[in-house]
A and B are shown apart, each in its own frame.
Chain A
Amino acid sequence: MERRVNYENDLNLMATELRLGLPGCDDDEPQRKTNPSIRNNKRTAPEISEVSSSESSSSITMSGSDDQDSPPPAKEQVVGWPPIRSYRKNCLQSSKRNEVEGMGMYVKVSVDGAPYLRKIDLKVYRSYPQLLKALENMFKLTIGAYSKREGYNGSDYAPTYEDKDGDWMLVGDVPWEMFISSCKRLRIMKGSEARGLGCV
C-alpha cells in the first residue's frame, strides 16, 4: 500500500514508522472520496498548530514500548476531539493566558495630596485614553488631554510614571506597549509641578 508523505512538513519519520493504518488512509485528494474514515482531514479545526498534516487521524501507531521510548509524531488536532464544548475551551484558554503572562500587572498609583496609594492592573487597559479615564474615575480628578509638545499643560493633574531605569516620565510619551513593559509605578502630579516634564 502506497503512502504518499508530505515531505515538506515532517522529518519523514513516516517512512520508518510502524503503523496499522486503515486501508487507504492517506490524505490524497482523489482517494478521499472512497474512504470515508479519513474525512477528518477536511474538517481540521483552523486553530491547530502547524504539525505534520500528512498523518491520517485514523491511523494507529504500534502500541506499547514505542510510546515510552520516543514520542509519536504530533497528531493533528481533529474537529471536536477531545469532546469539550467550545465555551469551556475558550474560557480555559483565556485563563491560561493569564497564567502565562502573570496574573495581572499591578502597579502602585499615588496622587499628590492623597493620603494613601492605590493599585491598578495595567493589563486591563489597551490604550492611554482607557487608562487615563480609569485614573480619573478612581481619583475623581481631571487629567485632561495629552499633547506631544506640551504634555498635559493646562490640566489640573499630570500622570507620570517611573520606568525601569528609575526615571520619572510623562505618561503618553512612548508607545503603549513600551509603556506597559517599562512602567513600575504611577504618580499623578499636580499640574503646576509637572510643567517641567512636558518640555522635551
Chain B
Amino acid sequence: MSEDDERQQSPPSDLEFVSNKARNCNATGSGSGHPEFQSTYPDQVLENVLENVLHFLTSRRDRNAASLVCKSWYRVEALTRSELFIGNCYAVSPGRATARFTRVKALHLKGKPRFADFNLMPPDWGAHFNPWALAMAKAYPWLEKVHLKRMSVTDDDLATLAELFLGFKELVLVCCDGFGTSGLAIFVSKCRQLKVLDLIESEVSDDETDWISCFPEGESNLESLIFDCVECHINFEALDRLVARSPSLKKLKLNRYVSIGQLYRLMVRAPQLTHLGTGSFSPSDIAGQGDQEPDYVAAFAACRSLVCLSGFREIIPDYLPAIYPVCANLTSLNFSYANITAEQLKPIISKCHKLQTFWVLDSICDEGLQAVAATCKDLRELRVFPVDPREDNDGPVSEVGLQAISEGCRKLQSILYFCQRMTNAAVIAMSKNCPDLVVFRLCIMGRHRPDPVTGEPMDDGFGAIVMNCKKLTRLAVSGLLTDKAFDYIGQHGKLVRTLSVAFAGDSDMALKYVLEGCPQLQKLEIRDSPFGDAALRSGLHHYYNMRFLWMSSCRLTRHGCQEIARAMPRLVVEVIRSADEEEMDDVVGTLYMYRSLEGPRTDAPKFVTIL
C-alpha cells in the first residue's frame, strides 16, 4: 500500500475499510482543499492549527473519519494519534503501523478470536506479541502503556517492555498466555515507573519465582495491581510491604492464595482502595495470627471509597456479613466464583442499592435473581454463570429469573445469562422492559432446546430482542432456532456488530439473512450450524468491512473457501485443522478469515492452511 497513490483504497486506520462513498471523497493535495483560504496562509500554519485541534480528538472512530478528509488531515491525524488500537494483530504489520503513526504512547492489541477461549483452536496458533514488542522498542521508546487481549506473551517480551521502555507505566494483559512468574519478576523489578499491572483471566505459569519481592524498594507509584488469575502462592510479607509503600494504590485484586486474615492486614494498610479483589475469603489452613479473629467488619467499614468488590474464590459464607458496611456504596460486585445460595445473597444484595454491575453464579437460583431485581434498580450489567456447566434438564435459574430481572432492572444494558431452560415469553418481556439493552447474550446450555412451555423454537424471543432493543450491538443466540430467527436479525439488527451463533439455523438462508441484512456486522462467530459455501458467498460484499468471520464445524468445503480467497485478495482465509484431520480434506473444520493489509502471515503453524 503506497501512501502516495490516492486512487488506491484509503488506508484503514483502525483497519475499518471504508465504504465506496467515503473513498471517492478523498481530496487531492494538502493545500488545495478550501477555496476561501488563498495562498496567503502557508500550508504549514494550517497544519499546525490542525495538529492542535486534532490533539483533542480521542475517539478512534472520529480519528479514522478525520484521517479520510484529505492527505493533510491524514498526515496530521497520524502525528497526533497517541493511542493506537489494533483489533486484529494480523490485519496490519508492526512495521506498517509504526511507519504511519510516529508518536504513539499507548498500544492496544487484540490477537486470537474469542472462540479460542473455549478450546476450539489448537494452542500455538499465533498472535505473538514479540514482533510488536521489538518494533515498538525501535519506534516508540517513550511508550507508556500496553494493553493486550488474547495474545501470546513470553517472558522475554516482558523483559523487553521493562528494559527498553524507560517510562513504561501501564501493562494490562487480558486472556493472555505464554509467560510465567519469572517474566513477571523481571518486569516488575526493572519497571520503575510502573503504575498499573493488571493480569486479567490470563494463564501465568508457576516458575516458582517470588515476583512480588521483585518490586523495587522505596515508594512505589503503583495505582493498580491485579493478579487474581495467577495460580501460584505469593510471598505475603513482601506483598504487605509493597502495599504499605504504595500510597497511590487504588485497585488491588488478590489471588486465591491470600487468606482472609491476610486480606485484613492489607485492607488496614490500604483503606483508600476503590477496587478490591478479596482473594480466597476464607481462613488460611494454618491459623497463626492470634487467638481472636480480626475485626473484618471494621476493616471494610474503613474502606469508604470502595466501589468495586470481587474475589471470594473459596468463600466461607460465614464471613460474608463482613462486607455489609460497603454494600451501600458498591457499584460493582463480582460473586461469580462464590457458590452461595439465595439465602446467603439476600442480606447482601438488599443493601446494594447503587449496584450497576453484578456477576454471580446460578447457585443463587431464580429466587436470588428476584432479590436482585427487587433492590438493584440501577443495574446496568448482569452476568449469571453456571456452577455446573453441563447440559441438563434442570437448572437453578430459568425464565423466572430473567423475567424478574427484566421487571426490576429497567436500565439494564448488558446481560449474559446461562440457563438450562428459557421461554420466548421471558425473552420478549425483557425486550420490552429493557429497551436500553446493548448486549444480549443468552446461553441455553441444552443444545437445540425449544421453549419448554410452547414447544416452539426460540425465534420469536430473539426476534423481539432485535426489534425492540434499538441500541443492540452485541447478540449471542442459543436454543432451538430456525432460519426465521436470522431473518429477524437481518431485518432489525441494523446496529449489530458482534454476533455469536452456535448449533442454530436450518439452512444457508440463515447466514445469508445476516450477511445481507446487518451492515454494521464486524465480528461473526459461528459453530456447529448447517451453513455452507453458498452462504459464505453471500457475504462477499461485506467481508472487507468486518474484522473477522469464524465458522467451525459448519458445512464449508475447501473449494468454497478458496473461491472466497480468490475473489478477495485482501482477505486472509485460514483453514484450521484439528489434530486428526488430513491436510487435503475437502471439508473445512474451522474457517477463520479476516481482512489484512499484509497478506498471509509468515508465522502460521502447520495445522493452519492459508488459502
A-side residues, CB < 8 A to B, are 22, 33-37, 39-40, 42-43, 45, 57-58, 60-61, 63-65, 67-68, 71-72, 75, 77-89, 91-92, 95-96, 98-99, 103-104, 116, 118-121, 124-125, 134, 137-138
Contact = CB atoms under 8 A, between A and B. Distances in A.
Interface residues of B, number: 61
A81 B336 CA distance: 18
14 contacts: A37-B530, A39-B589, A63-B480, A64-B450, A65-B455, A80-B119, A81-B391, A81-B503, A83-B502, A85-B201, A88-B336, A103-B316, A120-B285, A121-B285
Q: For chain B, what secondary structure do more than half of its interface residues adopt (helix, strand, loop), or is it mixed?
A: loop
Contacts of A36: 553-557, 587-589
Nearest to B445: A82
A80 B120 contact: yes
Contact of B337 (A60, A72, A91): A91
B118 interface: yes
Given A39-B553, A87-B203, 12 more contacts: A33-B585, A35-B587, A45-B119, A60-B480, A67-B393, A75-B446, A81-B118, A83-B115, A84-B118, A85-B118, A86-B119, A92-B387
Given A87-B201, A92-B339, A82 B389 contact: yes
B115 A120 contact: no
Interface string B73-114: 000000000000000000000000000000000000000000
B528 A79 contact: no
B499 to A, nearest CB: 14
The 6 A-B residue pairs with the shortest CB-CB distance in the complex, in nearest-first order: A64-B455, A80-B118, A124-B285, A63-B450, A36-B587, A60-B448
Interface stretch (B237-245, B286-294, B428-436): B286-294
A40 B452 contact: no
Given A80-B120, A83-B443, A91 B553 contact: no
B313 interface: yes
B528 A57 contact: yes
B180 interface: no
A79 B455 contact: no
Contacts of B175: 85
Contacts of A61: 448
Interface string B445-483: 111111010111100000000000000000000001000
Contacts of A35: 587
Nearest to A99: B339
Contacts of B450: 63-64
Nearest to A90: B231
Nearest to A49: B390
Contacts of A82: 386, 389, 391, 418, 443, 445
Contacts of A65: 455
